[in-house]
Amino acid sequence: MSGAGKKIADVAFKASRTIDWDGMAKVLVTDEARREFSNLRRAFDEVNTQLQTKFSQEPEPIDWDYYRKGIGAGIVDKYKEAYDSIEIPKYVDKVTPEYKPKFDALVIGGTERSRTEIAQGV
């Protein structure tokens, strides 16, 4: 798995464990809001499942012998040589460390404001 794909899958998995879906569902008052919330949760679960399965697996190796039989050894060997020479650089995330503390502070502030409003009956 690529570094970026693994990181995305890990973040999505951690997010799914920290979301208080039941707590959010309790504050919904209309049927329309409940339907929309249900759709949101279903979509989140589908994306999270796809991230966990798709990005947690290494790609299947290429069966070069299969292609040698059908196309010809010479051209397949050239493709294999070119394929093997490709070097994909590792992704280095320079953005998240800068913005994560700001995002976390916003989440905490929003959570505190929501709790205050709920307590006040707003």
What does the pLDDT look like over 63-96, one tens digit per residue?
999 999 988 899 999 999 999 999 888 878 888 8
Q: What is the pTM of this model?
A: 0.39
Write out the DSSP string of the chain: --HHHHHHHHHHHHHHHH--HHHHHHT--SHHHHHHHHHHHHHHHHHHHHHHHHTTSPPPPP-HHHHHHHT-HHHHHHHHHHHHH--PPPP---SHHHHHHHHHHHHHHHHHHHHHHHHHT-
* Domain parsing of the chain, residue ranges: 1-58, 60-88, 92-122
Q: 11 falls in which pLDDT band (50, 70, 90)?
A: low
pLDDT tens for each residue of 22-63: 888 888 889 999 999 999 999 998 888 887 777 667 778 999
- CA angle, 13 then 51 then 60, to 5°: 130
Torsion sign across C-alpha atoms 108, 111, 117, 120: negative
Average pLDDT score over the chain = 84
